[in-house]
Amino acid sequence: MSGHRSPVPRLCRATGLLLVLSGLAHLVVFAVDGGPWDGPVSWRKPVTFGLSFGVTLIAVTWVTSYLDVRPRLRAVLLAVFAADCVVEVGGITLQAWRGVPSHLNMETSFDTAVSMTLAVGGGVLVVLLTAFALAAFFRRPTGPAGMALAVRSGFAVLLVGLASGAAMIARGVVLTRTGHQEAAYHSTAWLKPLHGVSLHAVLVLPLLARLLALTPWSEAVRRRVVTAAVCCYAATVAGAGVWAGPTY
């Protein structure tokens, strides 16, 4: 089965679109039902996670087409990634409709099962995206001028986002295990800006390189523009990291 004939990328894009639509649908639910936007129990979570996971799934499906990875292996990794995204968004959405926190919630056996499933799913995401990142670092990605730098930088920044997400979960789990459940729900706020900004570099930077390919500019100019964009994005991520220090 060749990469061109595999239905997996198409299915992943469709799944990503459904997750985005789920996020938008819950934005309508929030507008109708109301309630707080912030906090461990709010419609914000199915909205933001649906949009973020959907966009990320679509982005990773596209960006990995530039990687030097065997088509069959890429298809398997993408299929697992898509399934994991559905599980994550599904668990968060389920808990929102139940009116209980989704992450770090150990109040009942069912809540614990959902929370642990989301935590394990997060670990799977880290492994899969790290595998794609390593493929980008060890073998030069293909594509138009500046794409290799954009893809590699996008995955590098994405790893920062994954690390910040893991740090949030780890801190929350420690607080939960030591009997500080309410503090655990609010312990992740300081890293959320860094986490959110870092996750989408893997879309923004390669998309810029692709759009620049449509311009009449020379390859040298396009590479310089991508380099400048990478520097600006890195500065933004660094700024979010610096902000997180005093907030913590």
Same domain, 86 and 156: no
* C-alpha–C-alpha distance, residues 28 and 68, integer Å: 41
Taking a C-beta distance cutoff of 8 angstroms, is the pair 93, 24 a contact? no
Dihedral of alpha carbons 48, 228, 133, 119, sign: negative
Mean pLDDT of 104-122: 87
- Domain boundary (116, 139, 162) is at 139
147-177 vs 109-138: helix axis angle to the nearest 10? Answer: 150
List pLDDT tens digits, range 147-163.
999 999 999 999 998 88
- CA-nearest of 102, 158, 171 to 130 is 158
For tokens 């087409």, what's the residue? 65
Same domain, 184 and 240: yes
- Domain boundary (113, 139, 165) is at 139
Neighbours of 116 (CB within 10 A): 12
Helix (H, G, I), strand (E, B), or coil: what is residue 88? helix
The pLDDT, as a whole number, for residue 186 is 60
Same domain, 88 and 133: yes
- Domain boundary (139, 162, 189) is at 139
Same domain, 13 and 133: yes
Same domain, 16 and 120: yes
List pLDDT tens digits, range 174-217.
666 666 666 556 666 667 778 788 889 999 999 999 999 999 99
* C-alpha–C-alpha distance, residues 162 and 157, integer Å: 9
Taking a C-beta distance cutoff of 8 angstroms, is the pair 17, 73 a contact? no
E strands, the chain, are none
Same domain, 114 and 187: no
Same domain, 133 and 232: no
The pLDDT, as a whole number, for residue 2 is 40
Same domain, 109 and 148: no
Q: How many domains does the chain fold into?
A: 2
List pLDDT tens digits, range 17-71.
999 999 999 999 999 998 888 878 889 999 999 999 999 999 999 999 999 999 9
Domain containing 104 equals 1-139
Same domain, 197 and 232: yes
HSE (side-chain half, CA atoms, 13 Å) at 45:
24
Mean pLDDT of 112-135: 92
List pLDDT tens digits, range 63-106.
999 999 999 999 999 999 999 999 999 999 999 999 998 877 78
The pLDDT, as a whole number, for residue 180 is 61
Same domain, 53 and 106: yes
pTM of the model: 0.88
User: At 243, is the pLDDT very low, low, confident or very high (cuts 50, 70, 90)?
Assistant: confident
The pLDDT, as a whole number, for residue 245 is 66
Same domain, 18 and 110: yes
Same domain, 186 and 70: no
